[in-house]
Amino acid sequence: MVVCVRSSFRNTLNGVRVPFSAVAAASFTSAGHEQMRSLSTNPNVAALVGNYKKNVVLKNLKTSNANLVQMARQYCSNLPSHNVVKLPALSPTMETGTIASWQKKEGDQLFEGDLLCEIETDKATMGFETPEEGYLAKIFLPEGSKDIPIGKPLCIIVQDKEDVAAFANYKAPDFSSDKSAASTPVSPPKPPVSTPPPPPPKSVAPSKPVEKVSPQQEFHKPQQKIFVTPFAKKLAKESGINLTNIQGSGPHGRILASDIEAAKSQPQSQALPTKSLPELAVGESYTDIPLTNMRKTIAKRLTESKTTIPHYYLTADIDVDKVLALRAKLNSFLASSVKDKNEKPQKLSINDFIIKATAKACKDVPEANSFFMDTFVRQNDNVDVSVAVSTDSGLITPIVRNADLKGISRISAEVAELAKKAREGKLQPHEYQGGTFTVSNLGMFGSVSNFSAIINPPQSCILAIGAPKKVVVVDEENNGYKTKNIMQVTMSCDHRVVDGAVGARYLKYFKQYLEDPKTMLL
């Protein structure tokens, strides 16, 4: 990519016309950067750079590429060569992040792949690795910094240790325009005008009746090219207004805050009244705990799910005596197979069998392994089981991919590794995004016999597993009574996708696999 700042200048000292694009244009390769440096040895070019680099280059450089802007700024400064590391989008839905901790301090040497800092996103606390080797010269944001927008500078990395001192008093550069250009569609250039544009009209009627956008529609509709100011976008989100129905009054149709206010005044777009917090009685004590980004996301998504998805629930009692006996036998075999006394043998849990049975039943009843996509239902070919794991930050659902094709031992090993990474905040986005069916097991706590879970959209079903309990049942063979381990399972279904008969059929297969676990091998 080549960017020309200006076609040419006239050097007033000797009348030589030199293309300034030769100085300001560069590719994103080291060769392009060296070309800029070699050109600066030409006295004509050097004079031009000295006279115009601060007043012309940065004012006239028009580009949507943040890296090129950063390179031009570095070239036009007296600071050593450096790289400004900015907050990346660590998940598709991430808008802001929080610096949970810095793993390196200023002056530390960095190697590619080193853990630079931990960033709390809307999904999890994730480790951010250093993008290149060098030395950490400057940290702009301390630990605990919250609501950092994507693209905001985090730190500076230099190649030589001697260059660290040059950034001791360096202030963070403002890349807000670069961030917006990189994360949103580039708006058409404004025509050059010497006078400010007239103020927008006080009230602008939308081109179509304003409608509330449902969370499902907002989640699944493809993004359209809409030009909107950040404040107007925030107002629309808070008011639940569909931006596609607003005709902007700003330059080139850009939606302004006044447009949103006008839309809110329309009868169709009246927002629901918000509930005020109850006043606390005098003398009551309490502790206010700030919401983490992850907790905010959980609250938002589950509220949307419960209020927009028509849940219904099916419960089944499952005899798990045979699967418990098989688990004990396999664990005994795994323990005897360990040759090294210091090696800890693998132990299978009943949850591993539940995940396998879940995946096999999804293959038998593919309607349960589907997404609701507003205008169609997407039936997934792969069975990727999301497993609910509780962490200090909140609930997260790492995924066992293609669980129907894996053996119990491999499922057990994957779940143990994923759960460990989840509790340490080291899950990568691909490890918790994209599941097709969810299992939530509270039976491991022993005291929960049954419960119902909230569907994780866009999935259509979730299984809630209770603890097995000994129950006295009739023994028809011996004409008496006996005890069995009975586990209650409750399936939450999205009635838009899974009808009652389909859900019942799914539970039939799931029950069959657990009550006769040998059938899972077929």
Q: Are strands 115-120 and 96-102 parallel, antiparallel or unpaired?
A: antiparallel
Whole-number CA gyration radius for the chain: 30
Neighbours of 294 (CB within 10 A): 22
- Using CA atoms of 92, 96, 101, 102 in order, give the dihedral in degrees to the nearest 10: 90
Token reading at 121 = 């996103």
- Do residues 131 and 43 lie in contact, with contact meaning Cβ atoms separated by under 8 Å? no
Residue with tokens 């979730």: 462
Token reading at 491 = 């399936």
Is residue 460 exposed (0-12), middle (13-18) or buried (19+ Cβ within 10 Å)? buried
Largest CA distance in the chain: 115
Beta bridge partners of 312: 493
Token reading at 292 = 């983490």
DSSP element (H, E) containing 400: strand 399-400
> Of 123, 119, 127, 126, which Cα lies nearest the Cα of 93?
123
Q: Is residue 374 annotated as a catalytic residue, yes or no? A: no
Q: For residue 496, how far is the Cα from the chain centroid?
A: 26
Q: Is residue 499 annotated as a catalytic residue, yes or no? A: yes
> Of 313, 401, 385, 380, which Cα lies nearest the Cα of 351?
385
- Do residues 238 and 218 lie in contact, with contact meaning Cβ atoms separated by under 8 Å? no
> Of 309, 278, 312, 346, which Cα lies nearest the Cα of 456?
309
What is d(CA 63, CA 53) in angstroms, rounded to the nearest whole number?
16
Is residue 247 exposed (0-12), middle (13-18) or buried (19+ Cβ within 10 Å)? middle
Using CA atoms, how far residue 390 sits from 256, 355, 403, in Å, is: 42, 17, 21
Distance in angstroms between the alpha carbons of the first and the last residue of the chain: 56
Read off φ and ψ for residue 482, nearest 5 degrees. Answer: -150, 170
Q: Are strands 370-372 and 377-379 parallel, antiparallel or unpaired?
A: antiparallel
Q: Which of 147, 174, 475, 499 is catalytic?
A: 499
Q: What angle do CA 24, 29, 34 make, to 5 degrees?
A: 60
H helical segments located in 110-245: 176-183, 215-220, 230-239
**Among all residues, which ones are annotated catalytic?**
495, 499
